[in-house]
Structure 1
Amino acid sequence: MRTGKHGLMTAAVTVVCAVTVLAAPGTAFADPGPAPSPRAPGASSTASAPAATSDKDLEAVRKRLDEFYRTAASATEEYNAAEEKARKQSAEIVELAKKIVQGQETLDGLRDRAGAAARSQYRTGGLPDEARLVLSDDPEDFLDGTDRVIQGQRATKGLLGELTRAQEDLKAYTADASVQLKELEANRKAKATAQEKIEKQIAAAEKLESELEQEEKERLARLEREAQARAQTAWLGSGILEDLGTEATERGRKAVAYATAQVGKPYQWGAEGPKAYDCSGLTSQAWMSAGQAIPRTSQQQWKQLERVDIEDMRPGDLIIYFDDASHVGMYVGDGSVVHAPRPGRSITIAGAGSMPILGVVRPDTGTDTGTGTAPSE
């Protein structure tokens, strides 16, 4: 049965509305429920919090907090990846919806033309050629008419071919839209799962920190700084800084300038600025400001961008951290990175070796370096 344009437009609008609901970044999800009560390794299962009365106990708390925030960081990049895919799928579905509407309009027009051609051929071609020749007063007129009929038959055949192709295209567009909608729904579920994991881990970390006395929090912060300083000292002790160049490309300097200008702004998971950022949101937006589009997540930055040796890195390069590539910072020179650390912290300058380095990637593969050095603090 032939579909009217009104029904077709309604269907297309329904598709676009579905895309809007499934891909909306502000979609709320169910409360994941209370987070499990965290405890330091080795603590009693009946204890509500570790008794942080010594540096040894606080060190266990620090490691436990690192575990919570590391898990949250990994889940954040999972969320970002699902969000990025959903964004692209939404755009593709909208384009497919437009093609479906246009394809149906084309099909309707071809059907009208085919019907008119069939009616015309019926009116002029009802008798066999032999009978028409006998009844014709002028054989030449008959031959001219026959030629026109043949041309009309050829045109009709071509029209039917167009009609078939239009039907196949419309069927393909509809199938593609169905697949994209299913994938969009899968990504919506992946985002919801990642969000639940993020919120649980952050809630557990915040609960653990809230059970500490003020004096213990201050000692915990000191232990954290000392651990970072030890890691940075060991990294610099390898002589790495002596081998590093300081020149950056023009785009690299712009990216570094953007990233360092965000120092002091808060970390927020899933954020890409301008008021807050997560780690890969900061690096991707910094390079976007320099005119270079790069992948959104730290894992994709690690997979897709050119890898360089640490000894060859220059300001603007991205340092990927941890075995799962769940954190990223931008090298700014002098052995330092600018990065968005974790929830509850602000964007800051830190030692490039203060976290376990997985490797270095380069967004800008150009060789146009300037004479000055990139900004650093």
Structure 2
Amino acid sequence: MSSLVVVHIMSSWKPLNRLHSPVELVRQFTPNWFTVNMGTGITFLLLAQFPAHITGLHALAYGLFIVDAVLFAVFMGLFTARWVFFTQDAMPLLRHPVQSMFLGAIPMALIPLVNGLVLFYPAQPLAAQWALHLWWIDAALSLLTGWLVPWYQFTAQDHSLDRMTGVWLLPVVPAEVAASSAGYLAQHLPAAQAQSLVVAGYALWGMSVPIAMGILTVLYLRLALHKLPPKELGVSTWLSLGPIGTGAFALLTLGAAAPQAFVGTIMAPVANLAGPLGVIGALILWGLGLWWLATAIVLTAIQVRRGLPFNLGWWGFTFPVGVYTAASLTLGLRTGMPFFTAFAAMLIVALAGACTVVAVRSAHGLWHGHLVQAPCLRSAELVTAQATSSR
């Protein structure tokens, strides 16, 4: 019922009345909107850890944390209401070859809030315990999307190599995002709880990063054979940075947490190796990410000259860059090399600017209603119309 109250309030805004009816906001709601939380979330986490002291920056980051939490609750309400009240209209989402991939945005949107609880309330054990409970929910959602979406991809969806883009990564990456959070949370929890988190984190890393690397290999082949993706999906090239940056960040956080979690246990010798091996692995992935970062910049410049229309996919400029920045910032701390810290600071500034621009344009699109559209519904309606006309 709370979701319908939100819809009723928002429908009173004149621009949203341009939709066919107020309830269209629920019926047309897609998981793409959770990319707003992903971008906002990684931005406030990095602003709160900016390597230079700037007055008011931490307060700004905390304010974004609150805004992001409210938006996530609203989006979850709308998404749940769509499945409860418009189940038949929601089902085509699972068969849509692009929209279904964005189901992975839901668990990835939750992780910044989980980490934010520990970051902004470090002295409150209750915050860490709430974060732990939410993390296990997120891990379950990550596994669900990581298996469910590929199952539909393998059995029911229509795909071809020439139509492949970086969005294929979205249902696979949540597991490694959860893995990076596991290492971060484990450093703030008792050893008994930290041990299970670290073990689960490495398992989640293994269920995500190798698969993502395989997808990146195929994506390289697709770009070589079929050139750039359509301009509507032009930003998808940036998604390649996501699994690389998160994979590196997870190795660093898990490597930092493992020795403390397994001290005095039979696993202690292995755990003590996790830190240095994590740094080595992160450095290798960081180098791969630098190649993709430069490639994404060049390919985007070409797309801009051709005309790059705005859509929610522009949030792809934020989260992938953000997790790569988090890996760079952590490498600076682990290696003591100022280059990584300076590089991360530069990326944080760029990220904040990109997030501001995309947020303003997203709010404009929501206000005027043209971003409230479900492509899976249009596809389903087209199939129905074609079937009717053929009778």
TM-score by length of 1: 0.30
Task: Report which of the two structures shows the higher radius of gyration computed on alpha carbons.
Answer: 1
TM-score by length of 2: 0.29
| More strand, by proportion | 1
